[in-house]
A = this chain, B = another copy of it.
Amino acid sequence: MTTPKKLTRAEQKALRPIQILDAAFEEFVRSGFSGTRVEDIAERVNVTKGTVYVYFETKEKLFEAMIHHFSVPFQELLETAEGLSGSATDRLLSILGLLYEQIAEDRTTRELTRLVISEGQRFPDLIDRHHDEFIAPIIAKVDGLILEGVASGEFRAIPVEFSDIVVAPILTTTVLRLIFDDRREPPPNKEAFLRAYFDLLLHGLLAKPH
């Protein structure tokens, strides 16, 4: 059952930076950049703080490397989105579903969002890069789908500001879970939430057609 602990030197060496990045994620999430001690990160990996500095020059560079390391999944999401087919509605809902899973339900991305909000002022380059690589392409994708749906007559003609609004329940869920964590009752299950979200998105609140 248990994996044997014996690793070769080479394996251990390849593993170390990943272990440190994982530990850094947990500690930075727990305490923020300033509140985290390099020694706490080291202890999580059962090494001394000197070892952390073997792999990362400074605490700041470690933070940045950690953010990059955990931003990877976004890439895959964007690629998946490209392969979708079906009506504009189908594809829009598929993407929103994927985004919900990736951003709101995945703890890693959720906490990454916390760090982006809390440490963004100290690491503006990080934020810009995050925006250019992830946010902008996603927004563009959603924008494109809406325009496509409008052009095909599937959607009502709506102004571009809609993108943020369409995506809003996903980021809102993410942020509310970040704020209330375990204190509030856990959020409704994914299916129920998405059903309500999509229903409102497609049909609106009013009982009578306009």
Shortest CB–CB separation between residue A164 and chain B, in angstroms?
A: 6
Chain B residue at minimum C-beta to C-beta distance from A182? B124
User: A111 to nearest B CB, angstroms?
Assistant: 10
Q: A32, A124, A153 — which one has the most chain B CB atoms within 10 A of its CB?
A: A32
Task: Tell me, yes or no, whether A98 is within 8 Å of chain B by CB.
Answer: no
When all copies of this chain in the complex are counted, the total is: 4
Q: Are A196 and B127 in contact (CB under 8 A)?
A: no
Question: Residue of B at shortest CB range from A207?
Answer: B156
Complex contact A205–B131 (CB within 8 A): no
Given A196-B165, A201-B205, answer yes or no on A117-B173 (Cβ-Cβ < 8 Å). no
Let me know if A107 is at the binding interface, CB within 8 A.
Answer: no
- Closest B residue to A154 by beta carbon equals B207
Instruction: Verify if A172 is at the interface (C-beta below 8 Å from B).
Output: yes
Is A120 located at the chain interface by the 8 A CB criterion?
A: yes
16 A/B residue pairs, CB under 8 Å, sorted by A: A30-B121, A32-B35, A32-B118, A89-B205, A114-B118, A120-B179, A121-B181, A127-B180, A131-B179, A131-B184, A149-B205, A155-B206, A158-B200, A168-B169, A171-B172, A202-B205
